[in-house]
Amino acid sequence: MPTFSDILKNHYEHEPEKVSVYLLHSGQPDFPLTYRQLIRGSAGYAGTYARQGLQPGEVIVLILHHGVDLLYAYFGAVLHGAIPAIMPFLTEKLLPERYRADLASLVSVTQPSAIVTYPDFESEVRAALKPGDPVRSVIISDQVVSPCEPDFLTLSGLKRKPEDIALLQHSSGTTGLQKGVALSHQAVFNQLESYRLALHMQADDVFVSWLPLYHDMGLIACYLMPILLGYPLVLMSPFDWVRAPYRLLQAVSRYKGTLSWLPNFAYNFSAQKIRDRDLEGVDLSSWRAISNCSEPMRWESHQAFYERFRTFGLRYEALTTCYAMAENVFAVTQGGIEGQVVVDKVDRDSLQIDRVARPPVNGKATIKMLSTGRPIHNVTVRAVDSHGKDVPDRQIGEIVLKSDCMLTEYYHRLDVTKKAFLDGWYLTGDFGYIADGEVYVTGRKKDLIIVGGKNIYPQDLEQLAMDVPGVHLGRVVAFGIFNETTGTEDVVLAAEVDETDVYERQRIADQIRQVVTRGSAVALRYVHIVSKHWLVKTSSGKTARSANREKFLAEMQKTGQVF
């Protein structure tokens, strides 16, 4: 079993001139990067890490934008035998002091030895650090050793073992940043080998992605997989994509892209916001698998995307599905490769009330469930009840899984790691059912909101809202509600106040919006200001998020507002 560095060495020695990554930046010419360039650039970073006295096995946090520095810094850490972890960059929406607090919480749990960033961001990083922190060096991107010949005899990355931790992957927010998923080289390779087969990967495959690299879908499927397995990757920035979603389609056409991964909202977003004039000459016929992944997927989103782009060569069979999570490195299932994605038409009430996927009943509402596909060959999936017993086919249970590509641990969080497993089965926290071997995901047991594929912990938002004057401590609840138009969840927050004046309440609502947005970079769709005792609490005094969500929806229905 090799490690990442063995594979990089192999690419360097056997196909140095092959283009590994085409970096795309809006307003600039495309930038092809060969394996030779990539590994030489990474060797420069590895040399810098060594000079700074960083040891193999130590964590290096990368705070860099999409671009060559990020690629070099990442694989430099690999070649040095260190553990890279990418932290999202500060955005305009987020308050710098909140960002510093998030970084400080990452540092406190993950205990990195170094942070890499740009010269103009150094002061932000240093401001988040305090005496006694484990961070020994803040490495500035313009003070790094120039790209150089790698000396594979001395690089410590080649001395790592397959079971050593290769990387950490965090989700966002205070809670997510304190829960780094630690993955071994072996787990990553087991995943890639199994997923490669599930995707029927072939010699002419080209990956095209706009996904951020701090997200598992971006990091594993659209970064490590192509680079390590030796397939070309066309990589654009999420910032460019969100401002010009047509660029993804142009890139697919230009590079004859075959594989992409998208969160569900991106199908709606692309279908709604791209004009024909930006698609002149675009040919999407090379695209063979566009996997809908990382948030609840909708049949309607696939239809909208297909109808919008079919005249540009998009094939219906190219619309595929995947169920994935960082804890399993990435894919759990894949659908749509060996035939179209299975669509299960079920009776809505049975699914929502009885929690069983039954065939449609004449005259009653039906739901078209998209199958996430079958488990990839190294993963076993079950749906179980609250006692861990299997539920029958078509009955909703919690999805649990076992594989040879599970996380080593939540880094430095033994308590959380233990709780995530039951008798060796990983508890996903997702609800779903299995029918004829196909896995359908129906909802979530865990309190998590997913907006545009990004995981958001409601407690982070609630904590922020409680700081607004007039809001009762502990009397705030945040939850997600699916928006059919955008194809993703909207975030709703309800807060109890004593204030009865309508204008004062509006002012408090405005302030909550502002504090939450600037504190978490999450925009709230609706702030529901309520009187004391509105919120539903459990017998132990905890906020019951799903009960409050139901209560909110019922109230909205009464007042005629559609959610």
Partner 1 sequence: MSDDIIAPLENYIINQIIKQPKRALKPDEPLISSGLIDSFNLVDLALFVEDTFGVRMDDSELNTQTFDTLDQLTALIHSRRS
CA-CA-CA-CA torsion sign (333, 338, 341, 343):
negative
525 in contact with partner 1 (CB under 8 A): yes
517 in contact with partner 1 (CB under 8 A): yes
Judged by CB under 8 A, the residue of 118, 152, 239, 306 near partner 1 is 239
Nearer to partner 1, 269 or 534 (CB): 269
96 in contact with partner 1 (CB under 8 A): no
- d(CA 224, CA 211) in angstroms, rounded, equals 13
How far apart are CB 501 and partner 1 at their closest, in Å? Answer: 15
518 in contact with partner 1 (CB under 8 A): yes
Window 269 to 328, contacts with partner 1 (CB under 8 A):
269, 273, 275
CA-only gyration radius of the chain, Å: 24
Nearer to partner 1, 275 or 542 (CB): 275
Question: Please, are residues 516 and 495 in contact by the beta-carbon 8 Å criterion?
Answer: no
Which residue's structure tokens are 């520095």? 69
How far apart are CB 235 and partner 1 at their closest, in Å? Answer: 17
453 in contact with partner 1 (CB under 8 A): no
414 in contact with partner 1 (CB under 8 A): no
245 in contact with partner 1 (CB under 8 A): yes
DSSP state at residue 3: -
Output the CA–CA distances (angstroms, integers) from residue 445 to 199, 321, 420, 433, 492, in the order listed.
29, 21, 13, 13, 18
Nearer to partner 1, 178 or 455 (CB): 455
Judged by CB under 8 A, the residue of 146, 311, 340, 514 near partner 1 is 514
The two tokens of residue 222 are 């659209």
Q: Which helix (H) or strand (E) holds 242?
A: helix 238-243
How far apart are CB 358 and partner 1 at their closest, in Å? Answer: 37
Q: Which stretch binds partner 1 (CB under 8 A): 187-195, 203-211, 249-257, 518-526?
A: 518-526
Judged by CB under 8 A, the residue of 452, 453, 458, 480 near partner 1 is 452
Contacts 24+ apart (CB under 8 A), 507-513: 508/468, 508/469, 508/470, 508/471, 511/468, 511/469, 512/465, 512/468, 512/471
CA-CA-CA-CA torsion sign (530, 533, 539, 541):
positive
Buried residues in 153-176 as b, exposed as e (16+ CB within 10 A): eebbbbebebebbbbbbbbbbbbb
Judged by CB under 8 A, the residue of 243, 345, 472, 532 near partner 1 is 243
What is the SS3 assignment for 29? coil
Judged by CB under 8 A, the residue of 506, 531, 557, 561 near partner 1 is 506
Q: Which stretch binds partner 1 (CB under 8 A): 154-162, 243-251, 254-262, 472-480?
A: 243-251
Residue type, 547: A
Judged by CB under 8 A, the residue of 17, 29, 92, 538 near partner 1 is 92
Judged by CB under 8 A, the residue of 18, 26, 364, 531 near partner 1 is 26
Nearer to partner 1, 41 or 245 (CB): 245
Instruction: Residue 373: name the closest of 460, 435, 422 by CA.
Output: 435
Q: Which stretch binds partner 1 (CB under 8 A): 48-56, 70-78, 335-343, 509-517?
A: 509-517
Window 330 to 369, contacts with partner 1 (CB under 8 A):
none
The two tokens of residue 187 are 């787990």
How far apart are CB 385 and partner 1 at their closest, in Å? Answer: 38
How far apart are CB 523 and partner 1 at their closest, in Å? Answer: 5
How far apart are CB 303 and partner 1 at their closest, in Å? Answer: 21
Nearer to partner 1, 148 or 242 (CB): 242
Which bin fits 12, alpha (ψ -120 to 50), beta or left (φ > 0)? alpha
- d(CA 329, CA 325) in angstroms, rounded, equals 7
Judged by CB under 8 A, the residue of 229, 244, 536, 544 near partner 1 is 244
Cα 30–chain centre separation: 25
Phi then psi dihedrals of residue 518, to 5 deg:
-75, -20
How far apart are CB 482 and partner 1 at their closest, in Å? Answer: 16
Question: Please, are residues 436 and 456 in contact by the beta-carbon 8 Å criterion?
Answer: no
Nearer to partner 1, 396 or 449 (CB): 449
How far apart are CB 498 and partner 1 at their closest, in Å? Answer: 23
Judged by CB under 8 A, the residue of 192, 199, 521, 530 near partner 1 is 521
Binding-site size for partner 1 (CB under 8 A) equals 25
93 in contact with partner 1 (CB under 8 A): yes
Q: Which stretch binds partner 1 (CB under 8 A): 357-365, 403-411, 515-523, 535-543?
A: 515-523
- The DSSP-derived string for 367-420 is EEEEP--EEPTTEEEEEE-TTSPBPPTTB-EEEEEEESS--SEETT-HHHHHHT
Pairing verdict, β 449-451 and 454-456: antiparallel
Nearer to partner 1, 246 or 306 (CB): 246
Instruction: Residue 75: name the closest of 173, 164, 7 by CA.
Output: 7
467 in contact with partner 1 (CB under 8 A): no
Which stretches of the chain bind partner 1, using CB under 8 A? Answer: 26-27, 91-94, 239-240, 242-245, 247, 269, 273, 275, 452, 506, 510, 514, 517-518, 521, 523, 525
